[in-house]
Structure 1
């Protein structure tokens, strides 16, 4: 059974987003909406935020003051439908990851559609990844992201493999959007159950802007179609009410058949990317703790 806090949050979010899920929005409206919503998420105390650049890509580095030396480091790619979000909108969450994992977290501020459709954002995170892996030396490196950021994380693994670059030692996919074709059955089954995103809005508000004229069957755009062979141990979290559910289920099945060590967690009755709602929702806090325990286990 969901906590009282989760039930109240579901009700509030359902009321807030019910009408917007059936409308076409200008990308700037989506960006503003996400920024306004995420500003209410408190950033934990004891966090140092460093602003830097890798080439032309702005990067935010989050450090926990209590962590003086760490054997690991993480690069986190924020979500937002490929056309919204930033390191600032996700700072409360990346700060919690830095504290839980006891390591610094790099967050690229990659270019967004529609001004910069595929593959601009992927190229940006790849540029940051090259600098990131050079910096970490013998550390355990973690790559992760939620929603569109999860899709970019998996696509980045495939691109890094093509380029002969080091892959992450651990991969974290939170409610990942892995198929821009939107071919999974959950795009129909959970349409109307997903309190944050409808299939209509995913297509008209996000996918068409990101894809542009590029073929959506490209595994670097729809990484569900890629070859997961040799991927690192992977932790996948998804809700059973979100339209992207089958992206995760299909990936987990394919990856396990390819020999990938996958830990798969389904948030029953929760919603898209629910861990981002920490510290207000007990289930969000617990999900972060479970991911942290998994990271430290390896």
Structure 2
């Protein structure tokens, strides 16, 4: 583990990880930490940023001059908060390495807009890209944490609505299960430097307040049938509370015949690949992500 990773873990443990907060307190806390991006934006040469505000899509576009590929990226933030600015560095490098463009989508947050508002919004964003004339085989859907869960929900919704699947999909530590195993959550809590078992349980109550909806595969993608879904890459840390949920997604996808590229690391933290260019492990693993995407052309 790099020195940078150790430092980031120390900071996130102090600033993000919490236990014992009620719903209102957790919403305020996560919005405070996730909506104020501390990272410096360093876009690669030849990559440009612009805002997009259209009926089907709200967010940012980061692109090279003549993009050959499109990534629809869905940010994390526990379905409660988060800003696209946090992901400019990641999106810029994806655009550069893929000679492509990255659409960073915004979506409505819980508790004001509970499930399925966010999932429906991201599905609309995919429809928007198709209406722009993007070919499905040139589109990649990717996301981290809650955005990883929304990525999986979107793939299932695309299949269910009869639209063509994208080229492939990438999820970093996807949030995917409204029925986590409490014993596993509690066992992983001490090693997770960012999220707590308590945060996971409370976020589920906030995002899907109607308990009857929690079995829906768009709410708990690990319960989904992945028949007909595009190739999928999953990254997860063995130290994080979402580790077992990511494994359940892998199992469900592979049982349905989906090709899954699995990347796990010990000693690292939740969604570490987004920390480019500052984290050495993120730089290494982003190369694996772009290689996976290229392979499925």
Between the aligned partners of 1:138 and 1:151, the Cα distance in structure 2 is 20
**TM-score scaled by length of structure 1:** 0.91
Q: Match of 1:40?
A: 39
Aligned twin of 1:120 = 117
Q: SS at the partner of 1:84? A: coil
SS of alignment partner, residue 216 of structure 1: helix
In 2 relative to 1, CA 115–173 (structure 1 residues): closer, same or farther, beyond 3 Å?
A: same
* Correspondences of 1:204-215 after superposition (within 5 Å): 204=202, 206-214=203-211, 215=213
Question: What is the Cα deviation at residue 56 of structure 1?
Answer: 6.2
Residue pair 1:145, 1:174 contacting (<8 A) in 2 also: yes
CA deviation after TM superposition for structure 1 residue 159, in Å: 1.0
- CA deviation after TM superposition for structure 1 residue 230, in Å: 1.5
Q: Which moved more, 1:109-118 or 1:160-169?
A: 160-169
CA distance in 2, matches of 1:119, 1:91: 26
Normalized against structure 2, the TM-score is what? 0.91
Query: Following superposition of structure 1 onto structure 2, how do residues 135-146 of structure 1 map, counting pairs within 5 Å?
Result: 135-137=133-135, 139-146=137-144
1:171 is matched with 169
Change (3 A) 1:192 1:138: closer
Residue matched to 1:27: 27
Moved more, 141-150 or 27-36: 27-36
Distance in 1 between residues matched to 2:155 and 2:111, nearest whole Å? 24
Measure, in 2, the Cα distance between the counterparts of 1:123 and 1:97: 25
> What's the CA shift for 1:83?
0.8
Q: Which 5+ residue runs of structure 1 have no aligned equivalent?
A: none
More displaced stretch, 134-143 vs 282-291: 134-143
Q: Tell me the SS of whatever aligns to 2:104.
A: strand
Structure 2 residue 50 is matched with structure 1 residue 50: yes
Contact 1:100 1:288 in 2 (8 A): no
- Secondary structure (helix, strand or coil) at the match of 1:227 reads coil
2:62 pairs with 1:62: yes
Partners in 1 of 2:26 and 2:33 — Cα distance? 11
Q: Deviations over 1:4-34 (max 9, x none)?
A: 222232233333345x344332423311211
Which residue of 2 is the match for residue 195 of structure 1? 193
SS of 2:258's partner is: coil
Query: Given the superposition, is the C-alpha separation of residues 12 and 138 from structure 1 closer, same or farther in structure 2, using an over 3 Å criterion?
Result: closer
Aligned partner of 1:88 in structure 2 is: 85
Match of 1:291 in 2: 289
SS in 2 for 1:179: coil
Q: Structure 1 16/69 Cα, relative in aligned 2: closer, same or farther at 3 Å?
A: closer
Partner secondary structure for residue 191 of structure 2: coil
Specify every segment of 5 or more residues in structure 2 that has no aligned partner in the other structure, as ranges: none
* Shift, 1:58, TM fit: 1.3
Name 2:276's counterpart in structure 1. Answer: 278
Is 1:4 the counterpart of 2:25 in the alignment? no
Query: How far apart in 2 are the matches of 1:49 and 1:114?
Result: 30
> How far off is 1:273 after superposition?
0.1
Q: Deviations over 1:32-68 (max 9, x none)?
A: 21133x3324332433222223316413111134xx2
Distance 2:15 2:28 in 1: 18
